[in-house]
């Protein structure tokens, strides 16, 4: 893996030199954009909106429009100079229980590796977090953007999980959500029993993108001149009158599978 960033984790007065690596990757199907009439591939170009001339990537700079039509050009050095310390620091501001963090805030994981001279303080922070059961809330700058994250130990690794700021998480007060007045205790009890029977230990290796597999089958069929026919129907909403019956049938089906 190639490091995306190098700097330090600030842990009180301790600075731990680290390298940061992406901890996730996309497995989406790579699709090309084509012209419908002759399937000619579409190419995207960077074009000046005033003279329609293509601009080479080497001639493109970043600028901020501070007034109408007037720009200030920013270089990579300008982004770093805005705050030299922050651009090279994962600054742990405090420690919290991970259970306190709403799952809506979690965004993307990064792996932290100790850099030269950082082995012992890295191990110290990792083991201290393990024993405390807490995670560190930290700020850092990556790709010219100030970010918030949590530092968490997983086995021998320290993971930096990027989290969203509160202003990036939408409220849901405007949604029309049901209350509990129409629920009956037997329905809740049966639902709890079903949850117990469906409870398993989480193993991410058991899960994979089956939709991509289905889509690849469709592509293979169309490549052979076969018109794919859907085998399934859209899921239908459960009728309220059938709720108990469906819960019981779900439970019986699970018991049969277990047997």
241 pLDDT more than 60:
no
What is the pLDDT confidence band of residue 219, given thresholds at 50, 70 and 90? confident
CA distance 30 to 151: 32
pLDDT at site 254: 73
In tens, the pLDDT along 113-141 reads: 999 999 999 999 999 999 999 999 999 98
Q: What is the mean pLDDT of residues 173-183?
A: 89
CB-CB contact of 158 with 126 (8 Å): yes
Q: Kindly give the residue spans of alpha helices, DSSP state H, lying in the chain.
A: 76-81, 119-132, 185-198, 210-223, 243-258
Backbone angles phi, psi at 74, to 5 degrees: -115, 130
Q: What is the mean pLDDT of residues 200-221?
A: 83
230 pLDDT more than 80:
no
158 pLDDT more than 60:
yes
pLDDT at site 197: 85
Beta strands in the chain (DSSP E): 5-11, 14-22, 62-67, 70-74, 89-97, 106-114, 134-142, 145-154, 157-163
142 pLDDT more than 60:
yes
CATH fold of 5-27+80-168 reads Ku70; Chain: A; Domain 2 (2.40.290)
pTM: 0.74
pLDDT at site 259: 64
155 pLDDT more than 90:
yes
Q: Hey, CA dihedral for 132, 135, 141, 142, is it positive or negative? A: positive
Query: What are 21's two structure tokens?
Result: 């690596």
Domain chopping of the chain, boundaries: 5-27+80-168, 185-258
- Residue 198 to residues 9, 181, 246, 256, 258, Cα–Cα distance (Å): 41, 26, 15, 13, 10
pLDDT at site 48: 92
CB-CB contact of 94 with 136 (8 Å): yes
Per-position b or e across 167-179, b if 16+ CB within 10 A of its CB: eeeeeeeeeeeee
């Amino acid at each position: 893996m190639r490091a995306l960033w190098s700097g330090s984790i600030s842990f009180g007065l301790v600075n731990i030199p680290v390298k940061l690596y992406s901890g996730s990757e996309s497995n989406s199907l790579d699709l090309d954009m084509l012209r419908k009439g002759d399937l000619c591939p579409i190419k995207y170009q960077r074009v000046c909106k005033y003279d329609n001339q293509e601009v080479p990537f080497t001639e493109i700079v970043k600028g901020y429009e501070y007034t109408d039509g007037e720009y200030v050009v920013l270089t990579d050095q300008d982004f770093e100079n805005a705050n030299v310390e922050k651009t090279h620091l994962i600054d742990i501001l405090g420690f919290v229980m991970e259970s306190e963090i709403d799952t809506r805030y979690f965004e993307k994981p990064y792996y932290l590796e100790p850099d030269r001279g950082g082995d012992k303080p890295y191990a110290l922070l990792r083991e201290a977090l393990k024993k405390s059961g807490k995670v560190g809330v930290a700020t850092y700058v990556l790709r010219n953007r100030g970010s918030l994250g949590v530092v968490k130990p997983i086995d021998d690794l320290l993971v930096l999980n990027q989290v969203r700021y509160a202003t990036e998480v939408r409220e849901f007060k405007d949604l029309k959500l049901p209350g509990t007045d129409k629920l009956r205790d037997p329905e809740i009890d049966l639902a709890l029993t079903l949850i117990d029977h469906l409870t398993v230990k989480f193993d991410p290796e058991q899960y994979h993108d089956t939709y991509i597999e289905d889509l690849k089958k469709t592509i293979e069929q169309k490549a052979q001149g076969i018109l794919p026919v859907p085998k399934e129907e859209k899921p239908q909403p459960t009728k309220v009158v059938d709720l108990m019956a469906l819960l019981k049938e779900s439970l019986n089906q699970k018991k049969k599978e277990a047997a």
